[in-house]
Structure 1
Amino acid sequence: MDQAVPANQASGLPHEASPLPPLVRPAEGYAGDVSPQLACAWWQAGEAVLVDVRTDAERAWVGEVPGAVPLAWKQWPGMALNADFDTGLQAALAGGKKAVLLCRSGVRSVAAAKRATELGLQAYNILEGFEGDPDTEAHRGRKGGWRFHNLPWRQS
């Protein structure tokens, strides 16, 4: 009896060595949602600007992506919208590249991607964010996210 073999395993390589290529998921109000891996590939290839929309405190305490543009969507404390967000984003994308937007869990980055689109920019939300969703014990960083996937980051 023939068994179907997933396309990413047809080479005989282990699954981890040949994952299916990540795709862009359509979204309403912005260019789409992308996996952390695809966002990182675009960024490292120079096709996109990685914009970290978390607060300064989050980047300092939880970790940051070296080379990302730090531009908070909301300001700590109080989480008021950053009055300089539009200007900062337009300056970061002055070269015409697309933006890949990163936040803690992939929620604020959706709002930031929608705002970027309103400004006439091509913007994508990074799924899972920097820390991913909480697990059954309410801990982040164990179920996805930029850091979980071993993409470039550091903690000061």
Structure 2
Amino acid sequence: MERIAPMTSSATPTVIPAEGYAGDVTPQQAWQWVQEGKAVLVDVRSSAEMEWVGRVPGAAAVPWKQWPGMAMNPDFDAQLRAAVPAGQSAVLLCRSGVRSIAAAKRATELGLTAYNILEGFEGDPDDNGQRGKKGGWRFRGLPWRQG
């Protein structure tokens, strides 16, 4: 199910309230906050995903789970605290916007203001089971690079 942030009368994306973390934002809203210095972009995908699929330049790489086997990153808390300065918010990115919810909840438990980025890096699969064609950071034309 694709979730889109409601629009205000000025057509500015807003935060969708969520339980256990600060809320959900569109990729465009997250990028705007990063550019304005209001948030740190934290990519919670595995290093393999970032290497094989692409990464966002300047994003802090703090894997929620590690390749191979997708085991929990035992250093997640310390790495996240090091990546997000005190007083800054975090916008969390994963492949599809699912792991980043779990990571946002953990970040909130650690005392951070954390938002999930809707659609993730690759978006939902299309009717052929392929990602990257139906939403996501790349699909929205936001900065990224291969490898």
- Structure 1: stretches of 5+ with no match in the other structure: 1-6, 9-19
Distance of 1:94 and 1:67 partners within structure 2: 15
Distance of 1:23 and 1:139 partners within structure 2: 28
Question: Which residue pairs with 2:99 in the alignment?
Answer: 108
Distance of 1:71 and 1:77 partners within structure 2: 16
Structure 1 residue ranges (4+ consecutive) displaced by more than 2 angstroms after TM superposition: none
Distance of 1:92 and 1:70 partners within structure 2: 8
Distance of 1:59 and 1:90 partners within structure 2: 21
Question: Which residue pairs with 2:122 in the alignment?
Answer: 131
Distance of 2:35 and 2:65 partners within structure 1: 26
Residue 78 of structure 2: which of 84, 87, 109 is its match?
Answer: 87
How big is each residue's C-alpha offset from its partner over 1:86-116, in whole Å with a ceiling of 9 and x where there is no partner? 0011111123200000000000000000000
Greater C-alpha radius of gyration: 1
- Structure 2: stretches of 5+ with no match in the other structure: 1-8
Aligned residues: 139
- TM-score of the pair, normalised by structure 1: 0.87
| Alignment of 1:57 onto 2:48 | yes
Question: Which residue pairs with 2:17 in the alignment?
Answer: 26
Sequence identity percentage: 70
Letter in structure 2 aligned against 1:154? R
> SS at the partner of 2:24?
strand
RMSD, matched Cα:
1.0
